[in-house]
Amino acid sequence: MEKITAIKQDLRSSANPDKIKILSGFFKTGKGQYGEGDIFIGVTVPEIRKIAKKHSDTPVNELEALLKEPVHEHRMFALLCMIEQFKKASEDKKQQLFQSYLKHTKYINNWDLVDLSAAQIVGEWIENKEHGILHQLAGSNILWEQRISIVATWKWIRNGKFDDTIAIAEKLLYHEHDLIRKAVGWMLREVGKKDKRTLTKFLDKYHTTMPRTTLRYAIEKFSPEEKLLYMKK
């Protein structure tokens, strides 16, 4: 585990203690909040990316060990390193990384961890394969797996494929948690940037009943007149 020790030392050396309170508040680590118990040491994402590139040869089993760590930046490092490896990996190695990711979703437990990795690993691996796993995740009772299910489709949206995004958005549309409502609205907005007609078709069906947070995110790029029209119940 010398590799893990070196990684932790690099992260600690890049840490800024002044950022700990800010990050802990921003990612809602207080009692009863969605990030309760998460520990920050104050390392920025760009710094973690640099360290992930430096240690991009870290074995998968050691990345899995880091994913189980209570320190947020250790888990983020593991995910960013997985992404670095995935970019250059063989098909067998990509499958290994994908399977490892799915086995450890309970540790991918804040929105930034999901958002920087779901499309790059899950979406990338299954784009041209069976998509059923995303619909299973959408039906999970784990908040972060549900967010993974919708954010993973971001990769496909960019390639002009919207069917799964729309289907999962429908499944999650009336979710009670703000983090899912925002993610659904965000992905719908991304659909609209590629194909406005697909988005307006969805909104015409649901805008009177869907959560206002989701709607506001979805129509962010619309004109003031269009926003006013859709915000009317």
**In angstroms, how far apart are the furthest CA atoms of the chain?**
59
- CA–CA separation, 56 and 77 (whole Å): 10
- Domain residues for the domain of 153 are 130-233
Per-residue pLDDT of the chain (233 residues; tens, 9 = 90+): 789 999 999 999 999 999 999 999 999 999 999 999 999 999 999 999 999 999 999 999 999 999 999 999 999 999 999 999 999 999 999 999 999 999 999 999 999 999 999 999 999 999 999 999 999 999 999 999 999 999 999 999 999 999 999 999 999 999 999 999 999 999 999 999 999 999 999 999 999 999 999 999 999 999 999 999 999 86
Which of 116, 140, 168 is the last residue before a domain boundary?
Answer: 116
CB-based contact 42:17 (threshold 8 Å)? yes
Q: How far apart, in whole angstroms, are the C-alpha atoms of residue 62 and residue 190?
A: 35
How far apart CA 26 and CA 218 sit, in angstroms, is: 23
The pLDDT value recorded for residue 233 is: 66
If asked whether residues 103 and 18 sit together in one domain, one would say yes
Question: According to the model, what pLDDT value does residue 47 have?
Answer: 97
Answer whether residue 192 is part of any domain.
Answer: yes
Q: What is the pTM of this model?
A: 0.95
Number of continuous H segments (helices) and E segments (strands) in the chain: 16, 0
Tell me whether residue 46 is in a domain: yes
- Residues 186 and 88 placed together within one structural domain of the fold: no
Asked if residue 41 lies in contact with residue 9, where contact means CB atoms within 8 angstroms, the answer is no
CATH of the domain at 55: 1.25.10.90
Tell whether 172 and 62 lie within a shared domain: no
* Domain match, 2 and 112 both: yes
